[in-house]
Structure 1
């Protein structure tokens, strides 16, 4: 009986430890880039600005991959059930984006994978469980940030993250250590059992770097459950960070007024084209499906009001 209680106590302790694990031990600080802006003010810019904006945006496919559909799409959603979706492997891509502002310079949105992360993840502290569950052996690597940056004629000014999952920060080993990195508020402090397996990779990616910068969404929305909070990143109406918690606590989408018109990067608020088109939120890969659905529907409503916006979902063309 004593042994059973000891084992039970050990199991409870392990479960509590898993739930208490934060995304990273790396420090964060309030960022000073940009200013909060109301949705009404942001949408007035979309209404009255020219279709073409000042920013060049280029998409890069870092890798082809597969993932479990039950993680990408909530299969319990009535719409998914009606469509007959069931658990299977789904082909996906891993993206990074180069953002070129005419006066502020070059930025990356997410980092995809580095060659090292793709070919030798263990050297970046990816354990066996993480490598197995993420199907890293099924990854077909194409390029990382180093390939993108070597063709640029100016230095990298910063990295804007949609969130801190390994497939979005996996290229940080190819980013200069002094590069500012921007995340959503609360992203580093989110507690989830999966961080027990990914935190070592995240800490290794951030090792030797300055504190992460968090977007200042304070006061941008009176009721975040009803209205998106936004930051005008360069204070010129060209690029906006949108707070979309749910997939992770600090998930961020980005709305960019590009030279080809406005583009919305949803991040993993919507992984798949099918999920976006049918308004079905992600499944088990999200920490809070209910909040993720609210964020997804807020983005959908924004695009419905401004159909000129081109939508790029997190992991599919």
Structure 2
């Protein structure tokens, strides 16, 4: 029997925490680990202005063919600067090597960032912002990443709460450990995340900001954003938040302390 997508609304939990000081004095045992699943080659101007297409979370299909699990007659041209050197970089292989059984996936946005989803379990929930959609430029470049997924959940920030500096947020698990932040602009339903761990407090920007250099120079997402002005507003919120909480580790859309962008 063919599986059909079941799209529902993520159940937003009411939080007792009303400001970030209250959140951060009660850290949890939650941890975060970043995985390198592929490489993008771009000119510096492309990185800082986001003029190149971006992707994270590749699965091993990108090893065998340019464009991986995307479809369309122009996908090899569109993805010519996406490189995956070996199968072991694929998201599904890395999770298997770490003996990780996924219970769910929270996306910053769809775009190419969801391209590892086809190789992940079908029965677990996949959560993304309300208004997100897959790119569909049929027959040129298109995808169907969630074809066999049975539990798709949309996170509606209208049911969230207003938090200082960042505005609409959702206490995802209701215990202050993991927060979703509404950061629209790059896409309509773009989400950034805060991980409130005992060892490290992290802010995952998503494509609000792609790199450390872009953050330092004040460069937000460029022409590939659905709404550039709205994207800059989201970017400035993140900048302001880090000014007040400088000990927060920033995980940029395509750069971390472990995996740095190389400029040449």
Name the TM-score class by shorter chain: 0.7 to 0.9
Match of 2:77 in 1: 132
Give the Cα–Cα distance (whole angstroms) in 2 for the partners of residues 271 and 113 of structure 1. Answer: 17
Q: Against the structure 1 CA distance between its residues 311 and 197, is the aligned structure 2 distance closer, same or farther, given a 3 Å change threshold?
A: farther
Aligned partner of 1:299 among 197, 221, 238: 238
Match of 2:20 in 1: 43
Aligned residues: 252
SS in 2 for 1:312: strand
Provide the residue aligned with 2:40 in structure 1.
65
For residue 221 of structure 2, give the secondary structure of its aligned residue in structure 1.
coil
Task: Report the TM-score when normalising by structure 1.
Answer: 0.69
Cα pair distance change 1:272/1:306, threshold 3 Å: same
Task: Check whether the contact 1:71–1:283 (CA below 8 A) recurs between aligned residues.
Answer: no
In the alignment, the residues of structure 2 paired with residue 150 and residue 74 of structure 1 have an alpha-carbon distance, to the nearest angstrom, of 35
The one-character-per-residue Cα deviations of 1:179-227 (angstroms, maximum 9, x if unpaired) are 21000111128xxxx6315997432x21121242011322435699x74
Runs of at least 4 residues off by over 6 Å: none
In structure 2, C-alpha distance between the alignment counterparts of 1:237 and 1:223, rounded to whole Å:
12
2:174 maps to 1:196: no
Distance 1:176 1:47 in 2: 33
1:62-117 residue CA offsets vs partner (Å, 9 max, x unmatched): 11112455554349xxxxxxxxxxx8x89x8x55xxxxxxxxxxxxxxxx101113
* Structure 2: 5+ residue stretches without partners: 257-264
Match of 1:156 among 98, 102, 113: 102
State the secondary structure of the residue aligned to 2:34. strand
Give the match for residue 216 of structure 1. Answer: 156
Q: Is 1:263 the counterpart of 2:198 in the alignment?
A: no
> What TM-score, normalized by structure 2, do the two folds share?
0.81
> Does 2:218 align with 1:243?
no
| Cα contact 2:15–2:174 (8 A) shared by 1 | no
Query: Residue 280 and residue 172 in structure 1: after superposition, are their counterparts in 2 closer, same or farther (change >3 A)?
Result: same
| More strand by percentage | 1
Matches within 5 A, 1:160-179: 160-166=106-112, 168-179=113-124
**What's the counterpart of residue 31 of structure 1?**
10
Distance 1:241 1:313 in 2: 15
* Contact 1:45–1:237 (8 Å) recurs in 2: no
Contact 1:28 1:188 in 2 (8 A): no
Query: Greater Rg, structure 1 or structure 2?
Result: 1
What's the CA shift for 1:131?
2.7
1:281 equivalenced with 2:258 (yes/no):
no
Change (3 A) 1:31 1:151: same
Residues 220 and 229 in structure 1, CA contact (< 8 A), matched pair in contact too: yes
For the aligned residues, what is the CA RMSD?
Answer: 3.2
Identify the structure with the greater helix proportion.
1
Structure 2 residue 120 is matched with structure 1 residue 180: no
Q: For residues 229-284 of structure 1, give each alpha carbon's deviation from its aligned partner in whole angstroms, at most 9, with x where no partner exists.
A: 11111111101111110111111111001242210110011012111112211112
Question: Which ranges of structure 1 fall in alignment gaps of 5 or more residues?
Answer: 1-25, 76-86, 96-111
